[in-house]
Amino acid sequence: MKISMIVAYGKNWEIGLNNEMLWHISEDFKNFKTITSGHHILMGRKTFESIGKPLPNRTSIVLSNTGFKHEGIHTFNDIQEAFNFARESAEDELFIIGGANIYETLFPYVDKMYLSEVEFDGIADAFLNPIDFSTWDLVEQKDYEVIKDEEGNIKSPAWKFKIWVKKD
């Protein structure tokens, strides 16, 4: 089973504020849905609470040490048990979707990264650890321009979508 992470982050590795996302980029949400549909997604309790419900057409796994329970999700307090659950369900690619502590803890297991680099430089309280890309190969990149409304206000910041795979 391949273990992948999918995350959007700003110029200073920002990923969230007050358990909420820092931007709304509809194309990135569509990307996320397309990539993760039909797969198991693994997250921490706070990330699940920010989403509020299991996402359609995905199997939600929550890592939590608090005994957290919610209808429609599978909760584990052990990483290997969560991985085994996905494997036993014949998952071929498990997606880690956050938050910061989960990304940090599970990064050593990651084989593939789906990264959205957002032109954002603002206030945040959750950050991704900086990634050393020297052990990764960039296999795909797509650049997106800023989208502004009629008054010139930014509706969607510029961003780059990149797929990285771990070097052999």
| pLDDT tens digits for range 135-152 | 999 999 999 999 999 999
Q: Are 135 and 167 in contact (CB under 8 A)?
A: yes
> What whole-number distance in Å separates Cα of residue 9 and Cα of residue 115?
8
Mean pLDDT of 46-54: 95
Please state the pTM of the whole predicted model.
0.95
As a whole number of angstroms, the distance between CA 161 and CA 141 comes to: 6
Domain boundaries, the chain: 2-166
User: What CATH number labels 2-166?
Assistant: 3.40.430.10
The whole-chain average pLDDT of the chain stands at 96
Cis amide bond preceding 99, omega within 30: yes
Distance of CA 142 to the CA centre of its chain: 17
